[in-house]
Amino acid sequence: MSTYVLVPGACHGGWCFASLTTPLRRLGHDVHPITLTGLAANQSAAGVNLETHIADVLGLLSDEQIEDAVLVGHSYGGVVITGVADRAPDRVRSLVYLDAFVPADGESCWTLTNDEQRAWYTSVDETGFGTRPLPFFDPRAKPHPLATLLQPIRLTGTLDRFARRDYVYAERWAGESPFTPTLERLRDDPQWNVHTLDGGHNLMRDVPADVLKILQAATG
């Protein structure tokens, strides 16, 4: 049995992993899809930054006494799992980035993405704290705390300490994918297992069976 911690992308909650959570549990694994602070019903994006979300996942690892997590981050969630792995490497077995950012020290979603995505980030809601969900998002999507997308991550080490790292790239973007530079940086690195899938950014919805295979292999 393996333990998976699933961290969603911007505007989404743990519900976005339903297509993976159920089959993984049927296979006998322990699965924890998390909804980060500010993204649950009746919560506000005010006062929430990247450190808040890293602390959310660190708290889950501690509360559930998880010692060998397979951390899975979708999109923005890649920044969160990078921070978690840096703070608690002894609790992490491997890392899976689903069409996600893989930041180095001092980088942020803002510095890693393209101009189209930056324009979206700054299309804030009436509070000024939240990036609006895009029109095609699930109705459950909520404004995402803008500060989490702007705040640079602070890391004390690199990901080299983790023997298993998977990067999964979505081939079907309507226009320029903000994750192409990350793919190009990692695809020839022998320390990474790089996969390209014939699906859109929401890989969990488009190609869940392919993602499930990758997650199972990521346990090492």
Question: What is the tens place of the pLDDT at every residue in 160-184?
Answer: 999 999 999 999 998 899 999 999 9
- Is pLDDT of 52 > 80? yes
Tell me the two tokens of residue 176.
């320029």
- Is pLDDT of 5 > 80? yes
Q: Using a pLDDT cut of 90, give the percent of the chain over it.
A: 97
* 203 vs 207: CA distance, rounded Å: 5
Which one is catalytic: 2, 75, 94, 177? 75
Tell me the two tokens of residue 85.
């792995």
What 54-63 contacts at long range (C-beta under 8 Å, 24+ apart), as own/partner pairs, is 54/80, 54/83, 54/84, 54/87, 57/5, 57/7, 57/81, 57/84, 58/84, 58/87, 58/88, 60/5, 60/32, 60/34, 61/5, 61/88, 61/91
- Is pLDDT of 89 > 80? yes
Res 119: pLDDT: 97
Q: Determine the average pLDDT of the residues in 94-100.
A: 98
Res 11: pLDDT: 98
For residue 89, the enclosing domain spans 3-217
> Is 75 an active-site residue?
yes
CATH number of the domain within which 177 lies: 3.40.50.1820
* 171 vs 154: CA distance, rounded Å: 30
Confidence of residue 90 (pLDDT cuts 50, 70, 90): very high
Q: Determine the average pLDDT of the residues in 101-127.
A: 97
- Is pLDDT of 220 > 80? no
Q: Determine the average pLDDT of the residues in 69-93.
A: 98
Q: Cβ contacts of residue 87 below 8 Å, gap of 6+?
A: 54, 58
Looking at every residue in the chain, the average pLDDT score rounds to 97
Closest to 34 (Cα-Cα) out of 56, 50, 19 = 56
* 146 vs 157: CA distance, rounded Å: 26
List, for residues 54-72, the tens digit of each pLDDT value.
Answer: 999 999 999 999 999 999 9
Tally of domains in the chain: 1
Q: In terms of C-beta density within 10 A (0-12 exposed, 13-18 middle, 19 or more buried), how is residue 75 classed?
A: buried
Res 38: pLDDT: 97
